[in-house]
């Protein structure tokens, strides 16, 4: 086995066997979409975290990735992806908040095309390196402000926002096709942004917007501007 392949396969606590145990835990936690399960099993989470933290990569907990950001716990990644997919095909997905690229890589397994936006330049570089190492070719990464207008003529079937807001970003909704779905963490008030939020599903129906809340989660706030 070459060094590169070994890095992805992992040894000990980063092995495929450990990843399989993570997948079984996801099933026990209620993840039912087999397409999502397969994606979670296929993506080696340990390459998305610092080497010193690789031994903890398959724990069900967030981990720091630098720049004050974290990689979401596996359950939250799987849950958001399952809610977004809702058992249907996803030709094109928009992700706001690329981070280290882990959620992006999972989305790349369930969608034909992923367009992802990250405001922090150092994380853009990290995500590009991680996705390049895995030879993920159906992803386009942009260093940009995902909290407002993207400045692009873009229409998507699904949107995942991996940072918390107090209201649905109207600028993003304009990119969502009728029949499309957005998943994001919403807080009820500004002071709750650094506390518990709710995973919220926004369905764009022909007759308007429908909103439904699910799991309690905790994400960093959705911030404007570039860093």
Q: From CA 115, how far away is CA 100, in angstroms rounded?
A: 14
Nearest to 184 by CA among 119, 176, 90, 44: 176
Q: From CA 205, how far away is CA 17, in angstroms rounded?
A: 42
**Torsion angles phi and psi, residue 49, rounded to 5:** -115, 165
What is the number of other CB atoms lying within 10 angstroms of the CB of residue 121? 12
Nearest to 223 by CA among 163, 143, 151: 163
Active site residue 61: no
The residue from 15, 72, 112, 147 that is catalytic is: 72
Bridge-based pairing of strands 208-217 and 176-186 is unpaired
Q: Does residue 226 contact residue 143 with C-beta atoms inside 8 Å?
A: yes
State the Cα torsion 116-120-121-126 to the nearest 10°. -70
Q: What's the CA angle centered on 153, arms 152 and 154, to 5 degrees? A: 95
Active site residues: 72
């Amino acid at each position: 086995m070459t060094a590169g392949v070994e890095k992805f396969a992992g040894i000990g606590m980063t092995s495929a066997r450990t990843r399989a145990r993570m997948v079984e835990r996801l099933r026990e936690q209620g993840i039912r979409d087999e397409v999502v399960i397969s994606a979670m099993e296929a993506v080696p989470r340990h390459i998305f975290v610092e080497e010193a933290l690789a031994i903890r990569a398959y724990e069900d907990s967030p981990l720091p990735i630098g720049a004050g950001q974290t990689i979401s716990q596996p359950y939250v990644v799987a849950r958001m992806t399952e809610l977004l997919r809702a058992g249907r095909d996803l030709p094109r997905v928009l992700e706001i908040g690329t981070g280290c690229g882990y959620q992006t890589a999972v989305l790349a397994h369930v969608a034909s095309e992923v367009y992802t936006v990250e405001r922090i330049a150092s994380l853009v570089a990290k995500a590009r390196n991680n996705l390049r190492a895995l030879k993920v070719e159906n992803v386009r990464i942009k260093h940009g402000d995902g909290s407002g207008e993207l400045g692009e003529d873009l229409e998507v079937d699904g949107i995942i926002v991996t940072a918390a807001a107090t209201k649905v970003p109207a600028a993003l909704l304009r990119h969502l096709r009728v029949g499309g779905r957005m998943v994001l963490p919403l807080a009820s008030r500004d002071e709750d942004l650094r506390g518990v939020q709710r995973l919220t599903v926004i369905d764009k129906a022909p007759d308007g917007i429908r909103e439904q809340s699910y799991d309690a989660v905790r994400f960093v706030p959705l911030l404007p501007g570039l860093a």
